[in-house]
Amino acid sequence: MSCSAPSFAPLPALILANTSIRSCRTLRDKRYDLLFEPVKIGPVTAKNRFYQVPHCTGLGRLRPRMLAALRGMKAEGGWGVVCTEYCSIHPASDDLPHPHASLWNDDDIKDHALMTEAVHRHGALAGAELWVGGARTANLYTRETAIDVTSMPNLAGHPYQSQAMDKSDIRELRRWHRNAALRAKEAGFDIVYVYATHGYLLSHFLSAHSNTRSDEYGGSMENRARLVRELIEDTKDAVGEKCAVAVRYSVGGDDGEDPSLTSERRDRLEMLAELPDLWDININDYYQEMGVSRFIKEGSLEEHMSFVKSITTKPVVTVGRFTSPDTMASQVRRGIVDFIGAARPSIADPFLPKKIEEGRLEEIRECIGCNICYAGDGLGVPIRCTQNPTMGEEWRRGWHPEQIPQKSSDASVLIVGAGPAGLEAARALGQRGYRVTLAEATRELGGRVARESTLPGLGEWRRVSDYRLGQIEAMPNVEVFRESELSVDEVLAVGADHLVMATGSTWRADGFGRTHPKPLTTLSTAARILTPDDIMAGQLPDGPTVIFDDDSFYMGGVIAEKVRRENVPVTLVTPENVVSAWCEYTSEHYQVQKNLLELGVDIKTGHSLLAYDGREVTLCCIHTERQQSIEAGALIMVTARSPRDELYQALKQRMEEGAQMPFRSLRRIGDCEAPAMIAAAVYAGHRYAREFDTEPDPDASCRLK
């Protein structure tokens, strides 16, 4: 093996003690002092300017203990304010299968008290975002009739319409909201929201586009704002002596809205400016507000909301996927915001504020903007994160993002493969104090992350490997060897007590995938058939190219963009009815298709691949079975991957043949075991390190509540 010969620094205190975090505050850069100033919000005061805005978790009312532990971890990590996800005020606002919080009756109070107690334990404020969905919700669980400003089709695509609210319905809504605010106060919340954006009921009352009423709740801007004003006043009257009242509000944005409507948003904000205790500002375009890093960069909302502080004296918070403390400090220093709002950065690193406060910037796990966290809500399952494998596991597995049990033996571990799974396993094992050898076959570390981060828009994904390599370089008990493709005998010669294969996977070129359960026999052996691995290695086609995307996540779209930007004609074919269908869960499929169309990529949905002879690709419509041919000099397969487990299988075979082996255990992790998304690979590496040298009960499951 050829050693990379890294320069190793002394082991940080965090690693030596495993559970300690440096408490010295003299190391903080003075440029960031203003981020740790207390800020008054009505009757309460936040200890600093770090504000975890309301965000979904896939937990909600279904999994209150998991939720409380997750939010409590944010508070432990230094966030000054920690909020719930959207919290329904009544069964007529039910969004299942998307899990949400609720304050429907007094029985909900005890569940929320778990969260507020966990948050208060670390000196943070707890916020509750009271929510009524209107025509966005079909109430599939409760079977209550949805209500809204008018009767309109369900905006999530379900075959329902809302009931038009009369004045008695409005009075009842105000009662529901007041009662929910009182329950929030009893549960221990410090901030209570009036939620007037994101296409839910209150935003429909505000909008001249959707509000066509002719009574005192419709017509003029003042009338259309009447209900929001009443709810602010009701909430302040009910809980304002103890709790701050926040309003979540959209200032518009460049989403194609009529300029007069956008202008009115500013006028309305100015009219209501001094009513609440805090303004939580966002924009209409959720694809920008929640945009993936492929299309949207840090601080993207500033251009739309920078005026807000000029028209209100109340504190202002907004989001922007802030990961740079310089950007954060600039936002405050220039008077754009009072609080640094965050959802995704607080998920990737719950201890981001504490690391800034203690001068440990190199230890921050920066959000990569992949939106895997958001996918959990759409799928109705607990949240997960590519960068932070402990997210969502705080209660059910007892995992802590900064703490891990110390080693229980002097065992040594050889990890083969320095991709996301191997790097995380090496980092976490190193943090535990084990002796680790990490061998990588190539010169570059990072595996698929290093390769995929070279594709259009995915540069920030490199943070997955950068963070782990930065931590590993400070660990003298972890040795890294590059350009070390090991044979079975070389693996055994290392003499490690435990072997871990993290050798990744390769994209298949034979057509096997969801559509074709067997390799296609109709592909010419003389044809130029490529895979994403070939494209990432620089083997680009130079003539008309067909991409068959049977994977339906991000890869087909980024490969199409990569090839098209080389001025090569591209046709993207998918059996799905939209391009990159799974990207709906990461809130980017609209941008993916828009981007490809603007680049001039020809898109053919609802078609499968039948054959390729090197000159023509034959397709078949999945609906009609009609066939057609497209001239192409190359075919790129984005279908399925094969685990690179040859070394694992060879070692396992020797064991089964009864050969005496010098190691105690053999495992494979990540894509080598089962190809999946990067988040799954990081999780696999972390779980291996957590469970190493333990004897988990194979019949015992984690706490799934």
Q: Which amino acid does the sequence have at 225?
A: A
For residues 59 and 377, is the Cβ–Cβ distance under 8 A? no
Q: At what angle do helices 226-239 and 259-272 cross, to 10 degrees?
A: 30
Q: What is the DSSP string of 116-183?
A: HHHHHTTT-EEEEEEE--GGG---TTT-PPPEESS--B-TTS-S-BPEEP-HHHHHHHHHHHHHHHHH
Nearest to 533 by CA among 451, 453, 609, 423: 451
Nearest to 127 by CA among 107, 151, 101: 101
Which CATH code for domain 507-642? 3.50.50.60
What pLDDT, on the 0 to 100 scale, is given for residue 288?
87
Q: Which residues of the chain have pLDDT under 50?
A: 1-25
CATH of the structural domain 30-379, one choice from 3.40.50.300, 3.40.640.10, 3.40.190.10, 3.20.20.70: 3.20.20.70
**Topology of domain 412-504+644-691, per CATH?**
Rossmann fold (3.40.50)
Cα separation, 694 vs 408, in Å, equals 8
Helix (H, G, I), strand (E, B) or coil at 40: strand
Cα separation, 674 vs 390, in Å, equals 20
Give the Å distances, CA to CA, from 438 to 129, 309, 419, 669. Answer: 46, 51, 10, 14
For residues 688 and 426, is the Cβ–Cβ distance under 8 A? no
What pLDDT, on the 0 to 100 scale, is given for residue 704?
56
* pTM across the whole model: 0.94
Each residue of 683-700: b (16+ CB within 10 Å) or e?
bbbbbbbbebbeeeeeee
Active-site residue, from 86, 200, 554, 612: 200
Phi, psi (rounded to 5 degrees) for 350: -60, -20
86: which strand partners?
A: 129
What pLDDT, on the 0 to 100 scale, is given for residue 512?
98
For residues 683 and 384, is the Cβ–Cβ distance under 8 A? yes
- Tokens read off for 17: 């003690």
Cα separation, 421 vs 643, in Å, equals 13
What pLDDT, on the 0 to 100 scale, is given for residue 261?
86
Cα separation, 47 vs 36, in Å, equals 7
Active site residue 217: no
Phi, psi (rounded to 5 degrees) for 17: -95, -15
Residues 75, 77, 78: CA angle, nearest 5 degrees: 70
- The overall longest dimension of the chain from CA atoms, in Å, is 86
- Burial (Cβ within 10 Å: 0-12, 13-18, ≥19) of residue 102: buried
What pLDDT, on the 0 to 100 scale, is given for residue 701?
62
The pairs formed by 534-543 with CB atoms below 8 angstroms and a separation of 24 or more are 534/636, 535/559, 535/562, 535/563, 535/636, 536/451, 536/452, 536/454, 536/455, 537/451, 540/566, 540/568, 541/568, 541/633, 541/634, 541/636, 542/568, 542/633, 543/568, 543/569, 543/632, 543/633, 543/634
* Domains in the chain: boundaries: 30-379, 412-504+644-691, 507-642
- Tokens read off for 598: 């603007």
The pairs formed by 326-335 with CB atoms below 8 angstroms and a separation of 24 or more are 326/31, 327/298, 327/299, 328/32, 328/35, 328/49, 329/31, 329/32, 329/34, 329/35, 331/299, 331/302, 332/34, 332/35, 332/49, 333/34, 335/309
DSSP state of 76: H
Cα separation, 217 vs 491, in Å, equals 74
For residues 631 and 545, is the Cβ–Cβ distance under 8 A? no
DSSP state of 247: E
What pLDDT, on the 0 to 100 scale, is given for residue 698?
67
